Amino acid sequence: TANFTSPTVVVPAGSSKTVSFSVLPPSGVNPENIPVFAGFIEVSSSDGEVHHVPYSGPAYSLYNAEYFVFLAGGVIPSLSGTDASGNSVSDTGFLQVDASRSWSMRADTLQWTTELLVHVLPGNTNITAEHYGLNTTTPPAYQPSKFAPNNTVFGHPSFGTVLNKTAFTPDYLGAIQAGDASVVKSDTLVTSSNGVSFSVGNGDYRLFYTILRWYGKSGVQKDYETYLSPVIRFVNGTS
């Protein structure tokens, strides 16, 4: 439905006027389907000329929408790896992985975003998030890395950023991978040739996902949908 301040306007020859109107999107839509509505405004003159002005937009609040995919058992990202015995393991609360082998974490998103980052934080971080992957009743005793965090995210210690995407569309996010006690930036389940890695060593870590909401301000934590992963413990690493 389109509403106009006035259904008619008189425009003298050689001049212009601004016509204000508002469009009411359809109601009762499911944001997870990413609904978009569209139409056009028809302008007709007294001498029979007709002009159409198209419009389109989302039929829901992009800022308040959910950006992570939710499942019955919780939230993705999902986490998997190989334990010290060489067995494949997958968990949502605490995962101990052989750092000399590969491990991965993947996510799916529902909305477009202009900024998506994944940070590596110490396993004992006290940063707040909207969604949490740690579902154990008693968290494991913290085992720190021999390296000290040399970055920060929203004022909390961080080892660095392993994924930084802009103009990102809803899709499979790919995975963060590790091997030989390093964390690798990768867009696929296989380490990419242009991946950037840095060593973190044995110890406990958590990945902090941040997706900037539409119309949100970069660097302001409340304008991101955030997810803090389970504790990931690297063992048997080479560094």
Return all residues near 198 (Cβ < 8 A) that are at least 6 apart. 159, 160, 182, 183
Q: What is the pLDDT of residue 54?
A: 92
Q: How far apart are CA 179 and CA 197, in angstroms?
A: 10
Percent with pLDDT over 90 in the chain: 19
- pLDDT greater than 80 at residue 188: no
- pLDDT greater than 70 at residue 185: no
Instruction: Identify the bridge partners of residue 211 per DSSP, sorted by sequence position.
Output: 116, 225
- pLDDT greater than 90 at residue 191: no
Mean pLDDT of 98-125: 79
Provide the residue type at 183 as one letter. Answer: V
Mean pLDDT of all residues in the chain? 77
Beta strand pairing call for 103-108 and 78-82? antiparallel
pLDDT, tens digit (0-9, with 9 covering 90-100), for 214-225: 899 999 999 999
Q: What is the pLDDT of residue 237?
A: 58
237 within 8 A of 201, measured Cβ to Cβ:
yes
pLDDT, tens digit (0-9, with 9 covering 90-100), for 112-122: 888 888 888 99
pLDDT, tens digit (0-9, with 9 covering 90-100), for 19-36: 888 888 888 888 778 788
Instruction: Write b or e for each residue in 47-59: b if 16 or more Cβ atoms lie within 10 A of its Cβ, otherwise e.
Output: eeeeeeeeeeebb
Note if the pTM is more than 0.85: no
pLDDT, tens digit (0-9, with 9 covering 90-100), for 154-168: 999 998 887 777 755
Mean pLDDT of 195-200: 59
**63-67, 111-115, 124-128, 162-166: lowest mean pLDDT where?**
162-166
Q: Which long-range CB contacts under 8 A does 19-27 form with residues at least 24 apart?
A: 23/55, 23/57, 25/57, 25/58, 25/59, 25/60, 26/59
